[in-house]
């Protein structure tokens, strides 16, 4: 049976403390990689994957996210009046339309963690499994990460499917880490998951990055979830509780993931995309950062 993944939840209420002072007045999800804010990549990925309803779990201080993702008819008209039809078209193609698109904004007013953020979306999701996208994990590649995850999810039924990649031992403490039991193609089978373990306690080096397809029972699990690491309601803990009954898999995606919640990750993503922009590529070449065949200099 194919379970339709029709809802995507975007937890975007966080304060972005890792990126201060840039995030003092600007939500971290609106920081651009070249000229496109992180949230736009996330929305595009969800759209490409056929998501019908998008639920943004935001914060009252971050209304700019709503202004960015939703259509701005006045700005479009203004640009058209100034003869900038191409820019106007690009903006309205990228934006969500309040009439044609199914979009909800929910406020998470207390910083109680990622699990709590997902729980805030409970009354706003469509039936069936839900996708969760963390916009500061930018995943670039020829196929959208969520699209390939949904295909894998439909092909091999596991209750919860999380995106995963191998990291070095000194980095496991930054991630949710899978307790691995086996492998089936691109899916790592697991019977549990631990949030930000110390290297010596990590069950594996398979780290979870910000894409999830979760069985709808996740909301009941979150409802009764006690605070975990950092005193927050952890999504990881609620997923782990369902692992033995529902099944848990880690999907090894084909794209490249950039940690755009950090300066280094943001720089890497920017350099990656700069290679596709003729003006930026010329700058990289002039600085000797790439050679004439346009690959990064060693
Ligand atoms: C969150 C999750 C963690 C996951 C990570 C991926 O952590 O809690 O399990 O591995 O995202 O980016 P955060 O980076 O918000 O601290």
| Dist. CA 42–CA 131, nearest whole Å | 12
| Dist. CA 42–CA 29, nearest whole Å | 9
The confidence score (pLDDT) of residue 251 equals 98
Q: Could you tell me if the CB of 212 is within 6 A of ligand 1?
A: no
Compute the chain's Rg from CA coordinates: 20
Report how far apart the first and last C-alpha atoms of the chain are (Å, whole number). Answer: 49
Measured from the Cα of 259, ligand 1's closest atom is 12
List C-alpha distances in Å: 239 to 160, 213, 229, 242: 7, 10, 14, 5
Distance 278 CA to ligand 1 centre (A): 34
Tell me which of 176, 177, 222, 266 to substitute to probe ligand 1's pocket, judged by most ligand atoms within 8 Å of the beta carbon.
176
- Taking only the tens place, the pLDDT of each residue in 212-252 is 999 999 999 999 999 999 999 999 999 999 999 999 999 99
Distance 165 CA to ligand 1 centre (A): 13
Look at the block and give the residue holding tokens 């398979």: 206
List of domains in the chain: 7-261 (3.90.550.10)
User: What's the predicted TM-score (pTM) here?
Assistant: 0.96
Split at pLDDT 50, 70, 90, the class of 110 is very high
Residue 12 class from Cβ within 10 Å (0-12 exposed, 13-18 middle, 19+ buried)? Answer: buried
- Taking only the tens place, the pLDDT of each residue in 75-101 is 999 999 999 999 999 999 999 998 999
Q: Which residues contact 82 (CB under 8 A, 6 or more apart)?
A: none
Measured from the Cα of 234, ligand 1's closest atom is 8
Distance 175 CA to ligand 1 centre (A): 5
């Amino acid at each position: 049976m194919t379970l339709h993944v029709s809802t995507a939840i975007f937890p975007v209420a966080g304060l972005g403390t890792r990126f201060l002072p840039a995030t003092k007045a600007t939500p971290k999800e609106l920081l651009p990689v070249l000229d496109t804010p992180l949230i736009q990549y996330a929305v595009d990925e969800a759209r490409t994957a056929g998501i019908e309803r998008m639920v943004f779990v935001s914060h009252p201080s971050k209304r700019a996210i709503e202004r960015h993702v939703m259509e701005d008819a006045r700005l479009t008209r203004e640009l058209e009046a100034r003869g900038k039809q191409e820019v106007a078209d690009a903006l309205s193609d990228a934006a969500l339309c309040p009439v044609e698109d199914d979009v909800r904004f929910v406020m998470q007013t207390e910083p109680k963690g990622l699990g709590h953020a997902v729980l805030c979306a409970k009354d706003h999701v469509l039936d069936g499994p839900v996708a969760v996208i963390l916009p500061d994990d930018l995943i670039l590649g020829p196929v959208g990460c969520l699209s390939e995850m949904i295909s894998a999810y439909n092909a091999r039924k596991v209750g919860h499917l999380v995106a995963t990649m191998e990291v070095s031992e000194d980095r496991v403490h930054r991630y949710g880490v899978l307790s691995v039991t086996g492998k089936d193609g691109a899916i790592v089978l697991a019977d549990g998951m631990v949030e930000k373990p110390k290297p010596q306690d990590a069950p594996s080096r398979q780290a979870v990055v910000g894409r999830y397809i979760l069985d709808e029972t996740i909301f009941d699990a979150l409802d009764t979830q006690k605070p975990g690491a950092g005193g927050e309601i952890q999504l990881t803990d609620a997923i782990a509780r369902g692992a033995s009954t529902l099944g848990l898999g880690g999907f090894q995606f084909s794209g490249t993931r950039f940690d755009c919640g950090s300066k280094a990750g943001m720089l890497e993503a920017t350099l990656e995309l700069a290679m596709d922009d003729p003006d930026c590529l010329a700058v990289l070449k002039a600085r000797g950062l790439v050679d004439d065949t346009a690959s990064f200099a060693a």
